[in-house]
Structure 1
C-alpha cells in the first residue's frame, strides 16, 4: 500500500478525532459514541465506494481505509497498554482504597458472573458449544469508562461515583481478558465443554504472574529514572517503554496476563515514582501520558468502528434474537451484583455502602467499547476457530457494543438527571447563593476603588453601578431566602469550604516544593476524606476523617508486629518516616487555615460558624502536635533532621522566587538566569532526599533519655534498645484486659493510658510503666488498660525484664515505689541480688 495514502488516511483520522470532541459537546453526547458512529460511517462509506462504479475516482482512498493494517494484536499490544498504564498513573490510589471492596466486586466478581450468565444463557438458546458461549461472555463482560466519566465530569457528578467506575473498568479489563485467554484456548483446542473448576483454577496463576512481572519491571524502571534525575526526556522515554515491555514479558515469557502486568506496573509507578523523581518531572510525565492515552483511546475507538460493517456483513434475522439474549443476560448479571451482592456485603459490614442512585448509574453506565471489539476481532482472525463460531462472536460482540453505545450511551445523561445526580443538594444550592452575594459585594468594593484610581467618567460609572447594584440586590435577596438552613448544615458548609481550601493550600505547597511529591498524595487524600466526610455526615464525618489522618492504621500496626516479632524493621522505618513528614506537612497547612476562616467563611456563614470552625481547627492542630511530640520523644534527632530539610527546601523556594523576579525585572539576562536555575536544581535534588530513619540508633538514644534506664552502661542500653518492641495504640483501644496472663512489661514512650481496677481509675503518662506487678507476683493482671490519647508503647518480654531488673537500680526503685503505692512488700518481689544492691 502506498505510504502517501496511508499517511493521508491516518492524518485524516486525527482530524476526525479533533472535530469529534467539540461536536460531541455540542450534541451533549459521549465523545466515544460520536467516534464510534463516525468510524462506522467511514467504514460503511468506504465499502460502498468500492462496490459501486459511480465513484471509481475514490476507490484508492476507500481501499486505503479498508486496507489499514488493523489487527487485534495492534489493539492489544499497542493501544491497550497505553490506556491501562495512563489510567493507573492518573488515579488517586489512596482514595480508591476507601472503596476497594465494591471496586473489586465489580471488577472481578461481576466479570465472572457476567461471563457465566451470558455463556449459559447462549448455550440454552443456540447450538454453539459451551466453550464458545463462555468465550462470548468473557468478551462482552468488560466495560469502557471513557463515555461515562466524561459525562460525570461535565455535570459535576459525585467524585466517588466516578472513582468506583474508573477503578472497576481498570481492573475488569484484566479479569475479562484473562478469562478470554482461557476460553479461547478451549475453543481452539476443540474442547466443547470445559471443566470450569480447572479453568478458574488457572485464573489466580495468570494474575499472580502478571502482577509479579509488572511490579519487578516498574521497580527497575523507577530505579533507572531516579538514576537519570537530571534528564527529563530520558525519564519520559523509560516510562513509555515500561508498559509495553511488561505486557510482552508477561504474555510471551512468563505465560501470565499482560494486562495484569501493565496494571501492576502502573500502580507501582504511581506509588514509587513521586518520591524518587523531581515534582515537575513527575507532573510532566503524567501530562505526557494523558496526551498519549487520549490519542490511543480515540484511535482504538475509531479504528475498531471501521470494522463494524465488516463484522456485521453476514448478520441474519435470528442473530438479533441472540443479541437480545446477550443484552438481557448481561443486564441481569450486573443487576444481581449491584442490587443483590453489594447490599448484602454492606449489611455484613464488609463493604462501605454504595447508595442506590449510584448503583443505578453504574448499571446503566456499563458501556462496552473498543476492547470488546478488539477481542471479537481476535476471534475472527484465528484460523483455529470454526467459521460458525467466528461469525457469531463477531456479530454478537459488535451488536451488544452498538446497543450499549447507541442506547445506554445516548440516554445516560438523561438517566443521571432522573436519578438526581446532576443537581446540587439543598445545602450546596444555599451555599452557592451566599457565595455569589459575598463575591459580588467584594467585587463592588474593588470596582469602586478602581473607578477612583483611574478617574473614570461619572455617567459611565453611574450606569454600570446601577446595573451591578441590581444584580447584587437580587443575589442578596436569594441568599436571604436561604436563612432557614439549619445550623448543622451551615457548619457542614463551612467545613466543606475549609477542607476545600486546605486541599488548595496543599496543592500550592506541592507546586512550590515546600511539601514533597512523596507526601502529596497522602495529604491530598486526607483533605479529600475531610471534604467527603463533611459533605455526607457533617461535623461528625469531618471529625472522623480528621482523627483518621493522625491515628495509627492497621498497616502501621502490622509493620510494628513485623519489627517486634520477626526483627524486620524496613516497613516500620519507612512508615514512621512517612508519618513524621506527614505530620509536619499537616501542621504547616493547618496553621494557615485560621486566616481563611476569618477572611472568607465568617463573611459567608457568620460569626458563630467561624468560631466553631476555629475550635475544630484548634483540636486538629492539638492532635497533630500531640502525635508529632510523641514521635519526637521516641525518635529524638530525626524530627530535627526533617525540620532542617524543610528549612532548606523553603530557602531554595525563596531563592528561586528571587531569581525569577530579577529575570522579569531585567536585572539578569537569560544566560545568567539559566546558570543560576541549574545550580538551584542540583541543590534542590540533594535536598529532596529524605534522611534515613535507623530504628536501632534512634531506639538506643531514646533508652538513654528514659529515666528508668538512666544508669545502664552503653552495651546494655544498646541491647535493650534492640530488645524493646514498639506498639502503637489509638485512643480508646484496649491495651490489656484484667485476668489476662502476664507475659510482658510496657513502658510508655508517649501518650497517656487509663487503668481501671475494682472500680478505681488512675492514669499513667510518658516515662511510666505497667504490667510489672503481675509478672513479679506471678498472678493474672487485675486492671483493664485503655489508651486515652495516641500512645506509643515499648514492650519488653518477661525474661528480659527480670534480667534488666537485676542490672538497673533506677528500675528497681521504680518497682519498689509502685509496690508501695499498692500496699505490696517490695522485698517479696525484687530479686535477692537486686535487693542487696
Structure 2
C-alpha cells in the first residue's frame, strides 16, 4: 500500500492516454473560444472600463492563440478515433436529452427505461466498435424484437390481441419520443463536436443521424398507415404535456417573484396535477378495427363494396416479419397470397431480384399457374403482411377488376401471358 502511488507513477497509469491527451488540447481550445465570445458579450452588456477590457482581452487572446496552435499541431488522434469519440459524445448528449425530457414530463416514465436503454447501447457500441457498433445499436432500436413477434403469433393464430396492442402502442410512443429527441441533436453536432473534431467528422455524424431519423420516420409511417389516427392522438398527448410543463414553470416563476402567496400556489399545483393525471392516459389501440380501416385504403380493393370489404377484413390474417426474415422459400407449396400492408420485401429468382412495397402483392403467380413457388421472398424492412388463402383469393379475383388488372401487370412483367393466367383463375 505504501508503494502503490510510486508504482502507478512508474508505470504511467496516472497519465492520460495519447488519444485523451490530444483530445484534451482540442477541448481546451474550443472551451476558450466559447469563453472569449461570452466574456466579450458580458463586458459589452455591463459597459466596463475600455482600457481594462482591452488589457484583459489581450492577455486572454495570447492564451487562446497558444491553445489553438497546440491543438492544431496534435496528430495523435486518428480519424476513426475522432469518429468514435464524436459518436460517444453524441450518444451521451442523447441520453442527457432523454433525462431532461423525463424531468419535464414530455416523455413518460413508461418510455424512459426503453429509450435510455437504447442510448446506453449506442454509447457502448460506439465505445467498443466505433461507427459499426453505433450503427448496429441504432438498427436494433427500431427493430421488432422476439417478444413482439411472439405477440404477433398470439394475435394471428389464437386471436389474443392484448399483448400485441400494448406492445404496438409502446412502439408508437417510443418511435415518436426518439424522433423528437434526434431532431435536437443536430445543434449539438454543430455547436460542440464540429469545434472539437472538425468539419469532416461533424458531417459524418450528421449523415448517421439523418439515417437514424429516416429509419424512425419509415417505421412510424408504417404504423400510421396500419393504424390511422393513433399517431395523431399520441402527438396531441405530447402537446398537452408540454403545455402543462410550461404552465407549471410560469406559476413557479411568479411565485418566486412574490406575485402571489403559498396558498394560491398550492391550489394551482393541485389543479395542475389533476389535469396532468388525465393527460398521462394513453389512447387505446384496437387492432381489429384499425385493420379494417387500413384495408379500405388498398388500391387493389378500391372497387369492392362496403360489405365485401368487411368480409375481407374478417378473413385476412395478419403476419409480422422483421428485417431479413424469409417470408417464402423457393419450391414451397402455393397456398396463400400476401398483400403488403407496410414495409417492403425482396423477391429473388434465377439470380434476379426485385422489390415490392406497400399496397402490392406476391404469391399469386404460383397459385394461378398451379406450380410450386420459384422465388425466395424476404423482408428488407419491418413488414406487416395481410394473408389470404387460395380459395378466397380466387373468389376475390372474380369480383375485383382492380385486382385482375394488378395480376395482369405482374404477369406481363414476368413474361407470362395474362389471358391464359386469368382464364385459368376463372376471371376474364
Among residues 675, 681, 687, which one is paired with 2:279 in the alignment? 687
Q: Indicate the structure with greater helix content.
A: 1
Cα shift readout 1:755-780 (whole Å, capped 9, x = no counterpart):
22223332212101001111232321
Shift of 1:638: 1.2
Give CA deviations for 1:726-773 in whole Å, capped at 9, x if unaligned.
333344443222212223211111222222222333221210100111
Match of 2:27 among 435, 450, 463: 435
Match of 1:765 in 2: 357
User: Where does residue 165 of structure 2 map in the other structure?
Assistant: 573
Tell me the residue number matched to 1:541: 133
- Paired residue for 1:754? 346
Residues 394 and 425 of structure 2 are in contact (CA less than 8 Å); yes or no, is this contact kept in structure 1?
no
Compute the displacement of 1:802 (Å): 3.7
Query: How far 1:498 moved relative to its partner?
Result: 1.3
Q: How far 1:479 moved relative to its partner?
A: 3.1
Structure 1 residues 271-292: Cα deviation after superposition (integer angstroms, max 9, x where no partner)? xxxxxxxxxxxxxxxxxxxxxx
Candidates 616, 632, 647, aligned match of 2:208: 616
- How far did 1:419 drift? 12
Asked if the contact 2:190–2:202 (Cα under 8 Å) also holds between the matched residues in 1, the reply is yes
Q: Distance in 2 between matches of 1:564 and 1:485?
A: 53
Cα distance, 1:585 vs structure 2 = 0.7
What is the match of residue 793 of structure 1?
A: 385
Match in the other structure for 1:586: 178
**Mapping of residues 245-644 of structure 1, within 5 Å:** 426-454=18-46, 472=64, 475-476=67-68, 479-644=71-236
Cα distance between partner residues in 1 of 2:264 and 2:107: 28
Shift of residue 706 of structure 1? Answer: 1.3
Query: CA deviation digits over 1:92-127, x for unaligned, max 9?
Result: xxxxxxxxxxxxxxxxxxxxxxxxxxxxxxxxxxxx
Cα distance in structure 2, aligned partners of 1:585 and 1:612: 23
TM-score (norm 1): 0.47
1:469 offset after TM fit, Å? 6.0
Distance 1:417 1:703, change over 3 A: farther
Task: Give the superposition deviation at 1:810.
Answer: 3.2
Report how far residue 697 of structure 1 moved. Answer: 0.8
Separation (CA, whole Å) in 2 of partners of 1:424 and 1:733:
46
In 2 relative to 1, CA 458–708 (structure 1 residues): closer, same or farther, beyond 3 Å?
closer
What displacement does 1:580 show?
Answer: 0.7
User: Partners in 1 of 2:422 and 2:95 — Cα distance?
Assistant: 56
Task: Report what 1:707 is aligned to.
Answer: 299
TM-aligned CA deviation for residue 615 of structure 1: 1.4
Larger RCO of the pair (alpha carbons < 8 Å, separation 6+)? 2
* Worse overlay, 530-539 or 647-656: 647-656
Runs ≥4 residues deviating over 6 A: 409-424, 457-467
2:254 is matched with 662
CA distance in 1, matches of 2:335, 2:7: 61
Provide the rounded CA distance (Å) in 1 between the counterparts of 2:11 and 2:102. 37
Instruction: Kindly state the Cα deviation for residue 454 of structure 1 after the two structures are TM-superposed.
Output: 3.8
Residue of structure 2 equivalent to 1:19: none
Report the Cα distance in structure 1 between the residues aligned to 2:174 and 2:8, rounded to whole angstroms.
Answer: 38
Distance 2:185 2:12 in 1: 33
- The structure with the larger Rg is 1
- Call closer, same or farther: CA 1:518–1:835 in 2, change over 3 Å: same
Unaligned runs of 5+ in 2: none
Shift of 1:787: 2.9
Number of residue pairs aligned between Structure 1 and Structure 2 = 428
> Residue in 1 aligned with 2:320?
728
Contact 1:700 1:718 in 2 (8 A): yes
Greater percentage in strand: 2
How far apart, in 2, do the equivalents of 1:635 and 1:773 lie?
Answer: 29
Given the superposition, is the C-alpha separation of residues 831 and 645 from structure 1 closer, same or farther in structure 2, using an over 3 Å criterion?
farther
Aligned mates of 1:688, 1:756 — CA distance in 2:
47
Partner of 2:142, secondary structure, is: coil
